[in-house]
A and B are shown apart, each in its own frame.
Chain A
């Protein structure tokens, strides 16, 4: 009973409840929402956002914030695409992902260098590095959209599980990109729940001084965290390129807030130390559902930003109510 009450009180449960409620309402208004093709579509749309959000979760847990991940993704995926194209690559798409991921990793380490060696505030560092990455990409690498990607990448976008052919001849299925997201989510979940590194991340977010005293190598930990975020961002960028079937260097940047909103909605605290993978995944689904419902209900797309802003504002307000970070800090004696 105690266990049940614990579960009910958790943030993730409320979130799941809201998601179910929202889905039900939308389904009532427009039953097309629950059609297999729409649901598969939802899954597909959540892939890139989801992989990004996992990275953001990790950074938030450690007590930092990273807004350069979209720039990292764009740079990684564009460079990888161009390189593979130039090398006339025709092999498996896995290489593309690995290369993009490693590029992202390197960029993440760049962030880590400034944050960790100079102890600089993470928001401002990543504000600066985002500009550096973006500026570098657009100034020195190129601004043209790459429209013909290596075959492996295009192929990836067509892969799916449970492929079925609809009466109209259309083939739908659970997109491979979604499976990639699921794999990443599982990996991060294992990291956070079962490994020492995961606990170290939580510790760093909870009490950085104590973490240092406990003997954690903070510098190495930060490099790991931002490297991992970079890697995930690279992967997300590559996924995006595959799904779009082109590499547009102007893509992705501007979507940072949606990603952060998903993580925060999922219960990640911006002050660090709190958050779970399940919550983040639910947050991603919730945002994607909201987006999808906008389209289904016929609301124009420029309302999107307003809604995302509202979502961030409302969800952080609710979280703030739950853990009152009172402006008066009165201790009990």
Chain B
């Protein structure tokens, strides 16, 4: 039995009226890869904060290296060797790579002087430890997401971390980069560093971890060695119910009616070239690809947020004006963005107002006056149609879980007259239960004739939902797979062949 590095015993924490953690215990051994799984609202983030010293538990104790740590501040956690890499990476965009790498270490060492030479020395050591190349003088604001992730990890390693907590580290990484990350994690393990890996992506969880702890609604629902879990049992522990796999959308191969959306030779400098495809009514089209493939730019161009340099977008035979969101919306295009917190929701505003943000007719009477009764009714209708769990539509959206928040974004567009839905990463950061509900709704919408485009990195999701999947690489469509024949693994294989 490996001796424990971290022992969390009977920790409880309450925020206002919500019991975030209830009598949770967790043990992480030295050099152990431990996964923390759970839906949104299960208490994962709170537990991380408690371990990192950001949050004081109401009850329970934390034992690090055999010692009870008592009053635990973030700087104490760092000194004990606990490092957290948050989802937003906590980097300073205005500082250089070198500055970012060095600043936490120097801070922790209590240095008063931070000369450029010292910073460069510390930074060089950091990237040497991890073994990757990067220009130290570049500003972090200007490097790619994957590079930023590596900077964050290198920074953590620099401070002699004994335990690295990674919060959803793979959301912005390509498959190749994820493999690379896993190799690094195994490497760290060999050096005796423990990893606490928090993720929604159950396939990854099963792949990388040795031990798994599952939280549900603040309680520990299960824990044990990884081989003792299966995808299904994990889901069951996380949600408390069985997961139903949605049926894939029926193939529309035989249909040769007029396409809903007709895209020809679309080009945008530095983003995508010569993109052409058709979207049939009732079809769910997937777009897969690596980071930098231009998928998001394509989506925003279809939606009118960005202009195109050449090519046409036609709906029902009429050309959509490039760069005009109003025109795109008038023709029924809706876009559900990648980052719902910053791009999709008005967090402090009520659910009702969020849902009414787009819909003109259903909530507005003649002359621009708001129809409150209609707004309330619309909100209520969509809240029940999408199973958004909230006591009242007047609550601010920020009080909802990730899954429910995503449903509000969806409701916002569905309340209008959308005929074509473009979704970018629709179930990122969404718990398994809500994910299934959203998928079910999408399939239902497709059956009613809506055209749906799903951009996603979640291969099971693409396999589940889509009839066809386009693969984009460096701005061009390089492949097209019909999903009824092709399996998920074929898709994965094709993707890994790229670059």
Contact = CB atoms under 8 A, between A and B. Distances in A.
Interface of A: 193-200, 202-203, 205-207, 209-216, 272-274, 328-333
A329 B338 CA distance: 12
B293 interface: yes
Given A214-B103, A329-B342, 4 more contacts: A193-B116, A202-B95, A205-B94, A329-B343
Nearest to B54: A213
Task: List 6 A-B pairs, minimum CB-CB distance, nearest first.
Answer: A333-B296, A273-B94, A210-B90, A206-B94, A206-B92, A215-B75
Contacts of B94: 202, 205-206, 272-274
Interface stretch (B23-31, B105-113, B125-133, B380-388): B105-113
Interface in B85-127: 86, 88, 90-95, 99, 103-104, 106-108, 111-116
B91 A210 contact: yes
A214 B95 CA distance: 14
A196 B114 contact: yes
A193 B88 CA distance: 27
Contact of A215 (B107, B342, B343): B107
Contacts of B75: 215
A214 B107 contact: yes
Interface centre among B54, B86, B94, B99 (most CB of A within 10 A): B94
Nearest to B99: A199
Contact of A333 (B74, B104, B292, B342): B292
A199 B99 CA distance: 8
Contacts of A205: 94
B108 A215 contact: yes
A332 B114 contact: no
A206 B89 CA distance: 13
A35 to B, nearest CB: 40
B150 interface: no
A215 B78 CA distance: 8
B295 interface: yes
B305 interface: yes
A265 B306 CA distance: 31
A328 B305 CA distance: 8
B451 to A, nearest CB: 21
Nearest to A271: B94
24 contacts: A193-B116, A194-B114, A194-B115, A195-B112, A195-B113, A196-B111, A198-B114, A199-B103, A200-B107, A205-B94, A206-B94, A207-B90, A210-B90, A214-B90, A272-B94, A273-B94, A329-B342, A329-B343, A331-B339, A332-B292, A333-B293, A333-B295, A333-B297, A333-B424
B291 interface: yes
B369 to A, nearest CB: 27
Given A194-B114, A203-B92, A203-B103, A213 B292 contact: no
Contacts of A273: 92-95
Contacts of B91: 207, 210
A194 B338 CA distance: 40
Contacts of A200: 107
Contacts of A212: 74
Given A331-B339, A332-B296, A213 B86 contact: yes
Contacts of B455: 333
A215 B74 contact: yes
Given A210-B90, A215-B107, A331-B296, A196 B113 contact: yes
A332 B290 CA distance: 12
Nearest to B457: A333
A27 B90 CA distance: 50
B280 interface: no
Contacts of A202: 92, 94-95, 99
Nearest to B76: A215
Interface string B326-342: 00000000000011001
B84 interface: yes
A192 B442 CA distance: 54
A166 B90 CA distance: 60
A291 B302 CA distance: 51
Nearest to B306: A330
Contacts of B107: 196, 200, 214-216
B300 interface: yes
Contacts of A195: 112-114
Contacts of B342: 329
Contacts of B112: 195-197
Interface in B67-86: 73-75, 78, 84, 86
Nearest to A274: B94
A139 B388 CA distance: 59
Contacts of B86: 213
Contacts of B293: 333
Contacts of B115: 193-194
Interface string B363-375: 0000000000000
Interface in B111-165: 111-116
Contacts of A215: 73-75, 78, 104, 107-108
